[in-house]
Structure 1
Amino acid sequence: MTEHTPQVRTINLAFTGASGAQYGLRLLQCLVAAGCRVNVMISRAAQVVIATETDLKLPGTPPAMQETLTNWAQAEPGQVLVFGREDWFAPPASGSGERAPLVVCPCSTGTLSALATGASNNLIERAGDVALKERRPLILVPREAPFSEVHLENMLKLTRMGAVIMPASPGFYHRPASVQDLVDFVVARLLDHLGISQDLMPRWGEARAEQKRSG
């Protein structure tokens, strides 16, 4: 009998220049901890945001970024792969590449516009275009307020194409005690949509169901 090695899930994760780098970085940590392989794409603006909002300082080249993120996320060698903005041979750049979900977290309104209009001027935009045309899961996490009519039209257009728009709007019914709790709320919802087990946040109704089972 042939033994089958469990297939490792691959997730494509893009960081763009919106505020909210903490959401994407926490998601990367959780994906690594879940044993996923993560293809990472980081825009130039995202590098600036990450340096502004966190203590993580990313070097300028994809190989150096890959080493830094691998160490930071405590990933296995080869588990986190970083691709440059014009690396057209990266797996997310083609429909014949691995069929993996794409999460853009955080997602700038500029990226929303590019995806809604079919622009493919860099790898992130091309990866989104591929996800849409191949009907792959595409989750976009904007963090903007207020939304203009253009933003809302782009989100509606992308929703109709099959994308999931998940604004970084944490809830409060879990009574967060820290900023990390707020970040984890959003990341837990992302993991749920990706079908990845998570224990960051209890699901709605779990406590009530447990009471009924035990009572």
Structure 2
Amino acid sequence: MNTANRLQHMPKRLILAITGATGMLYVTALLDLLADQDVEVDAIISDSGRKVLRLEQDMDPEDLPGVSRWFAAGDFTAPPASGSARYDAMIILPCTVGTLGAIATGFSGNLIHRAADVTLKERRPLILAVRETPLNRTHLTNMLALHDAGATICPPMPSFYLHPPDFQAMARQFAGRICDQIGLHLKDLPRWQGI
């Protein structure tokens, strides 16, 4: 079932999880797009995610715009650990293959894993922007397991046919595709119109 079709309304509350894979420019692009929407974003970042955010964007999590609340990755008492918290969707961007594997096997080693497990059990959209190449059989098996469980595997792949002028435009386009997957269809996002 298509993730966007599972939403009966526009999402109002999202969980954004940031892990230690490369691709932090997609995080800032997504938050910039969400800032113009009526959406509450609560976020979780792993220790490795903090390091990569600092390395790639020269930022700390608190510098990221548009996040309502930050939850510690080790805090299993935080709202995302329970289905009763009623989040509309969860996005893991970027998603390490370690996080992918933990979620695929039902292992809740931290709040990101637990929140993803809750999102799946509640049949809410879970988007994983997996960053790894090349992929081995274990990665592919874990992706298939999560696809079958209801998640959407959405690796950050830019749309070069739209001729993005720079990295920021490329990241914005992909972030817009993530928004599509959760039912937020942005009007000013460049889209393929045919030749």
Question: TM-score under structure 1 normalisation?
Answer: 0.81
Question: 1:103 Cα deviation (Å)?
Answer: 0.3
Structure 2 counterpart of 1:198, from 183, 186, 191: 186
Report the residue type matching 1:87 in the other structure: D
Partner of 1:62: none
Gaps of 5+ in 1: 1-6, 59-64, 209-215
Structure 2 counterpart of 1:18, from 18, 21, 30: 21
Residues 32 and 38, structure 1, Cα contact 8 Å, conserved in 2: no
Question: 1:199 Cα deviation (Å)?
Answer: 4.3
Residues 155 and 165, structure 1, Cα contact 8 Å, conserved in 2: yes
Partner of 1:4: none
Partner of 2:42: 39
Report the residue type matching 1:105 in the other structure: L
Partner of 1:211: none
SS in 2 for 1:39: strand
Partner of 1:52: 55
CA deviations over 1:41-89 (Å, ceiling 9, x no partner): 000000000011112134xxxxxx3xx33xxx2x4xxx61100112222
Partner of 2:79: 91
CA deviations over 1:80-120 (Å, ceiling 9, x no partner): 11001122222211111113200000000000000000011
Question: TM-score under structure 2 normalisation?
Answer: 0.89
Gaps of 5+ in 2: 1-9
Partner of 1:61: none
Count of residues in Structure 1 that have an aligned counterpart in Structure 2: 186
CA–CA distance in 1 between the matches of 2:109 and 2:17? 15
Following TM superposition, the consecutive aligned residue runs of length 4 or more in structure 1 with deviations greater than 3 angstroms are none
Structure 1 residues 188 and 32, CA gap change in structure 2 (3 angstroms): same
CA deviations over 1:155-208 (Å, ceiling 9, x no partner): 011001110000011111101110112111210100111111324532233x77
